[in-house]
Chain A
Amino acid sequence: MSAATRKEQLYGFWGSVAELFRIALRAIMGSKMRSFLTTLGIIIGVLAVVAVVSILQGVFQSFLGQFEALGANTLFIRPNYEMFSDRREGVRRLKLTYDDAQAVAQQVPDVRAIAPMLFRSDSIAFRSRHDTTTIVGTTEAYGPISDVNMETGRFLGPMDVDSRRKVCVIGHDILDKLALPDQCLGTEIQIGRDTYTVIGVVEKLGGAFGESDDDRIYVPLTTAIQQYGNDAANQLILLVQVRDAAHMDSAVERISNVLRRQHGLKFGQTDDFRTFTQEEVLKQIKTFTNVSTLIVVAIVGITLVVGGIGIMNIMLVSVTERTREIGIRMAVGAKRIHVLYQFLIESVTLSTLGGVIGLGAGWGVSLLTVWILRKTVSPTFPAAYVPLWVILLSLGFAALTGAVFGVYPAVKASRLDPIEALRYE
């Protein structure tokens, strides 16, 4: 009769797991320092991975953000510096000019707009404030292609370019850098040795890495060429918008043909320029991301095996120390599977806790690293970013390590003879 009531009282598999989990937690918390030292291998492994991956991912994400903003119907073209083993030689011998841009715009019907860009780093000043920033000499076409949104004022117009006006459109960071007044339109600032009038402020973009797109000043291309000379004018980057993203490939081919003709390249000679579409760049970034992920996963694997050996070691010691306990449990009715699960769940719990600690510590380390990099390398260094897959991967690996390396000690415990276990001193 009591057997019948007992059957109704069965509380199933998960009830038993919860039970064993409680027993495991009690054993782990019973010797906190030892548990901590046992999982140190796993903690350090997960910590290293999370720190490295979150910083890399932060960089990748801001990189991706930049190129996604480019749009599927845009590409850019720059001199093929990779032709020369020495980049300085490339800078001396290669050319990509305003004429090239004009030729492309006129001869390729697929091209809707083209914005040549001249990049220069230069000093800037307003009243007593001095700083440096990136000067971008370009045309009115840049605004619509890059989808520039203005906070106040306007972007460069055709008249500014045609008349070589000394006007500028500033990125959002410049407001702070030069401590410009709230109403800054019409203010005159120094760029290099010349004075420019501010005609617009670009909305804050945020999120870019290294040098931010907010840390820029746009000036008319013609004015920039006048200020920086012909050498600078020969090293342009062309930002091209095509009419239809679906015909990107044929557009790229036609643009290449026009540029080859412009540069007098013969059949068989390599292009002295390179084109980059959003699709290509994204593919490259993703390949790089995948490769680094694979490397990281391999490192996790190795560290966790080392951590796992640590866990196995201590679990074996623990089984020996608790031989008496195992004997008592068996005497009152624990089956082999109960003892096996007890120790297996203990090692999985131990290693997963190690994983959780490692995750937290890794996140802390990456926050600290980013903070230091922002103080030293670049104030706009992108924030660390921990993708969900990293959390799942590290915790999964940690748990798996506990399971794999916990099997042997657990089996050993479950195979003990009850009498011998009870007799064990």
Chain B
Amino acid sequence: MTASGDTLIEARDLVKDYPMGESVYHALRGVSLTVRRGEFIAIMGPSGSGKSTLLHLIGCLDTPTSGEYVLAGSPVHTLAPDQLAELRNKEIGFVFQTFFLLPRANAAENVELPLIYAKIPPAQRHHMAMEALEFLGLQTHAAHRPNQLSGGQRQQIAIARALVNKPSLILADEPTGNLDSKTSENIMGLLVRLNQMGNTLILVTHEPDIAAYAPRQVRIRDGLIVSDELVGASGKGGGS
């Protein structure tokens, strides 16, 4: 399943500085990372170490202060905001800790959201959204609004939204951070399944047992990668 040597991500010396009044805060101090298609990576580290900052750069939500970043052949560090938006729309699906669903839209409409900006006509859009919901077994909840759903269901809707545009890369920032341990296991099982189906997956977490699902673990501290190791087939993902 990881036989492909096809490179998806090539990041070199990524630096991200935040101006803090007079001084500058160095959130990332030179991060290099290569990711092949089909990989499942966990980025670990203590709070404030720069995990989210790195994930935002990888996800084209932000651009680095310096360094080079190539995603699926596109030199992201040179792109303008609208080109970044297009890249996010085509290549990336996000899953966030707090779900980030539109409160006034129902589940199906939330899942359709990326397709609107991909200019897919309404009927087909709805069809694709329903397919994604069906895959997650949530088709009966299509008309529910986020506040009528449990935390786990909300995160599943968010995952459906991340999947619906068939992106090259799924990025998850602490996806289980707001869920109880039982629900967390379900969500992680789902993510593992997505990876097994061929999706490239990068997961940010500070919890070791969540990181343990991933075969490749990258540790980050104070804006620098301190270790990047293949732990082989994950204990939880394959074992239990």
Give chain A's interface residues, CB within 8 Å of chain B.
2-3, 6, 9-11, 15-16, 19, 26-27, 30, 324-325, 327-338, 417-419, 422
Contact = CB atoms under 8 A, between A and B. Distances in A.
Contact of B85 (A3, A10, A334): A334
Contacts of B62: 417-419
Contacts of B118: 6, 333
A372 B122 CA distance: 51
Given A325-B102, A328-B113, A335 B120 contact: no
Interface residues of B, number: 31
Nearest to B161: A332
B161 A9 contact: no
B114 interface: yes
Given A418-B61, A419-B62, A331 B119 contact: no
A13 to B, nearest CB: 10
Interface string B27-67: 00000000000000000000000000000100101100000
Interface of B: 56, 59, 61-62, 81-82, 85-86, 88-90, 94, 96, 100-102, 104-105, 113-114, 116-122, 124, 161, 165-166
Contacts, number: 76
Contacts of B101: 328
Given A324-B100, A328-B100, A419-B62, A333 B85 contact: yes
Given A11-B121, A332-B113, A333-B114, 6 more contacts: A30-B104, A328-B113, A329-B117, A330-B61, A333-B90, A418-B61
Contacts of A335: 81-82, 85-86, 117
A3 B113 CA distance: 18
Given A325-B102, A419-B61, A333 B88 contact: yes
A336 B81 contact: yes
Q: At the interface, is chain A mostly helix, strand, loop or mixed?
A: helix
A338 B118 CA distance: 11
Contacts of A338: 117
Contacts of A333: 85-86, 88-90, 114, 117-118, 165
A331, A334, A337: most-surrounded residue (chain B CB, <10 A): A331
A331 B93 CA distance: 9
A9 B120 contact: yes
Contacts of B85: 330, 333-336
Contacts of A327: 100
Contact of A331 (B88, B104, B121, B165): B88
A331 B117 contact: no
Contacts of A331: 59, 61, 88, 94, 100
A332 B102 contact: no
B88 A9 contact: no
Closest 6 CB pairs of A and B: A333-B89, A333-B117, A332-B114, A11-B121, A335-B85, A335-B82
23 contacts: A3-B90, A16-B119, A19-B122, A27-B104, A30-B104, A328-B102, A329-B113, A329-B117, A330-B61, A330-B88, A331-B88, A331-B94, A332-B89, A332-B114, A332-B117, A333-B86, A333-B114, A335-B81, A335-B82, A335-B86, A336-B82, A418-B61, A422-B96
Nearest to B82: A335
A9 B124 CA distance: 9
A9 B113 contact: no
A323 to B, nearest CB: 12
A198 to B, nearest CB: 73
A390 B56 CA distance: 53
Nearest to A337: B82
